[in-house]
Chains A and B, each alone.
Chain A
Amino acid sequence: MDVLKIMAIVGCGSGLIVIVELIRRGQLKERYALLWLFAGIILLVFSLSRDLLEYVASLVGIYYPPSLLFLLAFLFLMLITLHFSSVISELSEKNKQLAQELALLRQEMVEGMGRSMDKHVAKD
């Protein structure tokens, strides 16, 4: 076993352990964990089997097989960042709606109080 292979396996393995542990503790929602798990598993499979890595690398015309690992890791990171951007957009829209709802409710309360005060005065 060469050093690179060991490093790759240890890297992917510990990454996967951290991901699973975060899910178990409820600190990572499954929805966001799926991409990470998927990325970890694919990279682990390629690290374990040098033959598979070399085969796929030659298929797509990559001469130095480990760079396929880098390419995959890079693509996954891009995908995950894009996913985050879309999640953040959705969250900020919801955040805005919450702020607006809160302001509308506050004003409704003020107006409601004003009306019941008026009734009070009318009774007296």
Chain B
Amino acid sequence: MKILIIIPAYNEEASLPGVIQDLKEHIPAADVLVVNDGSIDDTAQIARKINVKVLDLPFNLGIGGAVQSGFLYAERNGYDIAVQFDGDGQHLAGEINKLIEPIVTKQADLVVGSRFLAIGRYRAPIFRKMGIAIFSFILSRILGITVTDSTSGFRAANRRVIEFFAHTYPDDYPEVEALVLLHKVGLRMTEVPVTMRERTGGRSSITPTRSAYYMTKVLMAIFIDLMKKVR
């Protein structure tokens, strides 16, 4: 099975070497692809130096466009599984096998790593928690299964999902919408418990005002997605 690990990266030069080292130790058989989303630091150069595959976008496309580039690469180069993995070090490379398992056993087309199914409690700011709870409620109704962590960016996709995402992927805040789109074309998702590291450096880009904006936008997008023609 050909596995590709897609790391969307925007100004991640500090954390990237550690993340890739971790991946190579835990899952040496997989190829690693860094998608540099128009960073203004040396993300692309550093990734090239440590000898991983690099998609160097000429300007910033946003997380949706960056991740989709990774799926396009996976589609064209015949990968069976694509794993989306954060470049900031919050995901654990050792848990990728857990994510891939339901795909190998053909129980799901997309597997999402959920912070809220795990025993270790994930501490999040109250606004983010509220937002995640509301998304979970709505998505669970739409998808007909329990979704606990719809905004998680730690996911594994099988070939069918790779092919679908290569031509249809949402732009701005894609994680939640992507689940709705998959449901519309009849692909199955499941969640597995994962733990996430607390942020070591830097600040989260999420403030209360931004969360409110994010929530409104994603909620509207979900209803638009429900109306949209998807093939």
Query: Interface on A for B, CB 8 Å cutoff?
Result: 96, 99-100, 102-104, 106-107, 110-111
Question: With A and B bound together, what is the CA distance between A110 and B73 in angstroms?
Answer: 14
Whether B65 lies near A96 (C-beta < 8 A) is yes
Interface residue ranges of B41-80 to A (CB < 8 Å): 48, 53-59, 61, 65, 68-69, 72-73, 76
Whether A107 lies near B57 (C-beta < 8 A) is no
**What interface size band does chain B fall in?**
10 to 19
Q: Give the distance to chain B from A10, nearest Cβ to Cβ, in Å.
A: 44
Whether A104 lies near B55 (C-beta < 8 A) is yes
Whether A103 lies near B59 (C-beta < 8 A) is no
Question: With A and B bound together, what is the CA distance between A102 and B59 in angstroms?
Answer: 11
Residue ID in chain A nearest B36 by CB atoms? A103
Q: Give the distance to chain B from A100, nearest Cβ to Cβ, in Å.
A: 5
- A103 contact from B48, B58, B171, Cβ within 8 A: B58
Residue ID in chain A nearest B69 by CB atoms? A100
Query: Interface on B for A, CB 8 Å cutoff?
Result: 35, 48, 53-59, 61, 65, 68-69, 72-73, 76, 171
Whether B65 lies near A107 (C-beta < 8 A) is no
Question: Given contacts A99-B57, A99-B58, A99-B59, is CB(A104)–CB(B65) below 8 Å?
Answer: no
Question: With A and B bound together, what is the CA distance between A104 and B55 in angstroms?
Answer: 6
Question: With A and B bound together, what is the CA distance between A65 and B107 in angstroms?
Answer: 68
What are 18 A-B residue pairs whose CB atoms fall within 8 Å in the complex? A96-B61, A96-B65, A99-B57, A99-B58, A99-B59, A99-B61, A100-B55, A100-B57, A100-B61, A100-B69, A102-B58, A103-B55, A103-B56, A103-B57, A104-B69, A104-B73, A107-B54, A107-B73
Question: With A and B bound together, what is the CA distance between A103 and B35 in angstroms?
Answer: 9
Question: With A and B bound together, what is the CA distance between A76 and B58 in angstroms?
Answer: 38
| Contact partners of A96 in chain B: CB under 8 A | 61, 65, 171
Whether A100 lies near B56 (C-beta < 8 A) is no
| Contact partners of B53 in chain A: CB under 8 A | 107, 111
Question: With A and B bound together, what is the CA distance between A96 and B69 in angstroms?
Answer: 10
Residue ID in chain A nearest B166 by CB atoms? A100
| Contact partners of A106 in chain B: CB under 8 A | 55-56
Question: With A and B bound together, what is the CA distance between A99 and B171 in angstroms?
Answer: 14
Whether B55 lies near A107 (C-beta < 8 A) is yes
Whether A104 lies near B76 (C-beta < 8 A) is yes
Question: With A and B bound together, what is the CA distance between A111 and B51 in angstroms?
Answer: 11
Whether B54 lies near A100 (C-beta < 8 A) is no
Question: With A and B bound together, what is the CA distance between A102 and B73 in angstroms?
Answer: 12
- A99 contact from B48, B54, B65, Cβ within 8 A: B65
Question: With A and B bound together, what is the CA distance between A102 and B53 in angstroms?
Answer: 15
- A100 contact from B48, B68, B171, Cβ within 8 A: B68
